[in-house]
Structure 1
Amino acid sequence: MKGSTYRRCYCRDAETGKPLGKSCPQLKTRKHGTYSIRQELPACEDGSRRAFNRAGYTTLKEAQADLDHIRSLLGIPDSDDPEGQTAIAEMLEQVADEKSPIPAIEETRRRFNTGQQLIGRLTVADWLDRWLAAKRVRKSTVKRYASDVRVHLKPRIGHVRIDRLRVSHIAEMFAAIEDTNAKILEGNALRRTALAELTAVPWKGLENRARRKAMKAAVDDMPPFRKTTGPTARRHIRSTLRAALNDAITEQIITFNPAAYVKLAAAQKPKALLWTAERVAKWEETGEKPSPVMVWTPEQVGAFLDFVTEDRLYGMWHLIAHRGLRRGEACGQPWSETRLDSGSVTVSSQLVPEGADVEESTPKTASGFRIVALDDGTTAALKTHRARQEAEREKWGEAWVDTGRVFTNEDGTWLHPDRVTDLFERLVTASGLPPIRLHDLRHVAATLMLAGGADMKTVQEMLGHSSITITMDIYASVLPELAKEAAEAAAKLVPRQVRNPPAHASLTQEAS
């Protein structure tokens, strides 16, 4: 392929203003004009010619060095590799169009030999878009990935070339998130204070009404209440980025995953607490829950189940409270995997909310596939539920939708998990019991087993946790309280005539 260096002149005729070009009388002088290079590239697929052109070199030596550089790049593919030659030509064509630096020879050779993109123009945002579009996982997972990408990753590091992404870029991103959190907390506090001041102003009187109007206008101009990005959310963001960059390594776009080396503060998971009499009394007084994760005592569980005995989904509440199925698992449990004669259910599917719709999915983790033994009371509750469902089927006739699920709407259609949660919360409120979430009813099942003497491994397998560490972390705060209750129950078995001997009894014995 032909290549050459030559001088260019940018002088213009004094009268016409036209470029003199090669006719300039000074072009032959050594210091006049600039040098340019032109290198023929492999032809396009349609046979048309293309070339690498670059101008502006001040010395012949600089121009010749770049021309030799380009020839070395063109020599990377073998002569019998037309696809490789085309790839190098397209790379050089892009470099010429963008007037960007010519890629290093050894780096280009490494990328060429490993099948990577030859020119690193792919940004983090470009890759994240491509990665999300190709991701084939459950919709809820993709939705979480997309949220992390849209809200945090693309706005903060999307402009960085993916091959130049460093640990420092990601660390700075999380530092910026922390700064944003501080601003959100400050804004929320200011708005909360302003609302409190507005509430304190009386309604009566022209002066008060004018003052309220001005204060309300000031509140409306403030930013709305916003949620901060907490430790758990930050770990999710890092997890999303790490997964995306791991796939980029698999496709040989990059060779290093900086997200794997970013350290974040450990997320403090809320501890499960038992609704003891003291905590119930404080809740009744203040309305505050001691922890986001609260667990009923066996007596409170019994009171709730007694309250909902006539509810058409009583069998579901009983099953979750005693056997600890997840919400989606209970909604998706098929009769074909429910064996009431032998007393067991096989958890193999779940229903997942997608806005107003519902989709079927596999259990949350591999350990979610499990066989759960049923106690006699739960078996009886499910048999009663089956009889109720058969009555509903007869009532609806041909309009009945046979989904094969244990728990359904009255017409046989799938239950929406979010509506099941709403119903549970209404039932808890109506019962007058201290509040728990539907997911906490699953914790109740674990607590009942622990109180009954089951070991932690058995509880882990029943709940479908992927690790016993997860089980122990959740219930570490519940166990001492259960042990206290067990100790008190054991102490009551010992007959005593004097329950609380006087404090001075030992001193009296010593004196005698």
Structure 2
Amino acid sequence: MPMYEYQKGGKTHYYYAFEVKDTNGDRKTIKKRGFTGKTECRAAEREARVAWEKGSYIDPSTMLYAEYANNWLEAKQDISEQTRYVNEGHLKNHILPVIGNIPLQKVKVNHIELLIKTLQEKVLANGKKLAGGTIKKIYNLVQTSFKAAVQKEYIIRDPFTLLDKGSKPQAKKANVDYWTKEETKEFLNSFEHRQKILFILAIYTGMRRGEILGLRWKDVDLENGQLRISQILAFKSKIKDGAKTLAGNRSISIPPIVVAELRKHRTVIIQEKWEAKDKYKDHDLVVCGKDGRPVSWSNFHKFWIRRLEKTTVRPIRFHDLRHTCASLLLSAGTHPKIVQELLGHSSIKVTLDTYSHMMPNIQADAVKNLEKMLT
């Protein structure tokens, strides 16, 4: 078996090498390094021989980045279905059109610099440029793919190591937008709809989109004014146990007005269930279609946009209703720890980092109280 040992980082690694003849009768060596075990190396060598005999073998020295990147992403097992979908979109729409046709082993630092420049100057169909956070994520995806290529010994040197620090894209802190008290009241008073409960829950509780769409009646205690977050509606309308984070699994107190709105909404759901009869798919969801099925992310987004278009209130993202909840609570003097628990942040540091600019009155009151203590 043409398998050999070599040392790397003080550890024994393996590579295979065997000779073949191409269509012209010329001899060439097929070789691949980077294996940490003999069994893995033998299996890869057998696959390479079979691929060569079938005519499907690809020489790493001629492999295009597009082929490598697609195979690398497909083989990754440590990412969610949603992350895979997003990354596939980044590859197809932003990365491969720029560097996809370059052989992997010939991608240089200037190609990476061109990719960054192209991303920063790209204008989307809506007339807007790519957000800084998106550019940073795309950059990280490509960088990770090249790190893996070095580990697999497809390439000797990672071109990212030669990139000037000043050339690397920096993600700016996301803007936190929110409605004022007046804007919030104007929006809530501007319409009635069977799904209005969506916005009431977002504003009064700060729940995330997936938490609202995954909320079940069994997790609603109207008598005691409590909600429990125990599942979410995830990617592709899949119900997922637990919240987005460990801290997201929480109980939320709701005021009487939300209890009243939930009671009214439940009456609507019961009526729709009766009218649909056998066609109703009961998932026990608070927010659902008229047939009981979960509301898809895309339909939810379209509904939100339509509601914004029918009101005179300044447009914001739906997620900004969560920020609106936090803003209104903090402006009313609510302790940040309470806001952290309500929103399900992993730590109070996240809450303070996100909303510290909303708390000037808290700081002012603190120093005034200190003055009163000492005078």
| TM superposition score normalised by structure 1 | 0.54
- Identity of counterpart residues, as a percentage? 23
- CA 391–151 in structure 1, closer or farther in 2 if over 3 Å, else same: closer
Q: C-alpha distance in 2, partners of 1:109/1:265? A: 34
TM-superposed CA distance for 1:470, in Å, is: 4.9
| TM superposition score normalised by structure 2 | 0.70
Q: Which of 215, 234, 240 is the matching residue for 2:141? A: 240
Q: Which of 82, 88, 110 is the matching residue for 2:17? A: 88
SS at match of 2:20: helix
- The reply to whether residue 314 of structure 1 matches residue 196 of structure 2 is yes
Q: C-alpha distance in 1, partners of 2:189/2:35? A: 71
Partner of residue 143, structure 1? 85
Q: C-alpha distance in 2, partners of 1:360/1:442? A: 21
CA contact under 8 A between 1:347 and 1:368: conserved in structure 2? Answer: no
- The reply to whether residue 268 of structure 1 matches residue 193 of structure 2 is no
TM-superposed CA distance for 1:150, in Å, is: 1.7
TM-superposed CA distance for 1:371, in Å, is: 0.7
Partner of residue 68, structure 2? 127
Partner of residue 251, structure 2? 372
After TM superposition, list the pairs within 5 Å mapping 1:59-458 onto structure 2.
76=4, 87-89=16-18, 92-93=19-20, 111=34, 120-121=60-61, 122-135=63-76, 137-162=79-104, 167=109, 169-178=111-120, 180-181=121-122, 227-245=128-146, 248=149, 259=160, 263=165, 264-272=168-176, 293=177, 295-308=178-191, 310-342=192-224, 343-352=226-235, 354=236, 358-361=237-240, 365-367=244-246, 369-377=248-256, 378-458=258-338
CA contact under 8 A between 1:326 and 1:442: conserved in structure 2? Answer: yes
Q: C-alpha distance in 2, partners of 1:98/1:323? A: 73
Question: Root-mean-square deviation (CA), in Å?
Answer: 4.2
Number of residue pairs matched? Answer: 335
**Structure possessing the higher relative contact order (Cα contacts under 8 Å, 6 or more residues apart):** 2
Write out per-residue CA displacement over residues 178-227 of structure 1, whole angstroms, 9 at most, x where no aligned residue. Answer: 4x54xx69xxxxxxxxxxxxxxxxxxxxxxxxxxxxxxxxxxxxxx8855
CA contact under 8 A between 1:95 and 1:102: conserved in structure 2? Answer: no
- CA 297–152 in structure 1, closer or farther in 2 if over 3 Å, else same: closer
Q: Which runs of 4+ in 1 moved over 6 A?
A: 94-103, 116-119
Q: Tell me which structure has the larger Cα radius of gyration.
A: 1
Q: C-alpha distance in 1, partners of 2:241/2:24? A: 50
Structure 2 gaps of 5+ residues are 6-13, 46-58, 369-375
Q: C-alpha distance in 1, partners of 2:33/2:162? A: 25
- CA 163–341 in structure 1, closer or farther in 2 if over 3 Å, else same: farther
TM-superposed CA distance for 1:235, in Å, is: 0.6
CA contact under 8 A between 2:132 and 2:169: conserved in structure 1? Answer: yes
TM-superposed CA distance for 1:402, in Å, is: 0.7
CA contact under 8 A between 1:460 and 1:471: conserved in structure 2? Answer: yes
CA contact under 8 A between 1:367 and 1:465: conserved in structure 2? Answer: no
- CA 260–341 in structure 1, closer or farther in 2 if over 3 Å, else same: farther
Q: C-alpha distance in 2, partners of 1:174/1:168? A: 10
CA contact under 8 A between 2:34 and 2:152: conserved in structure 1? Answer: no
Structure 1 gaps of 5+ residues are 1-41, 43-73, 78-83, 186-223, 273-292, 491-512
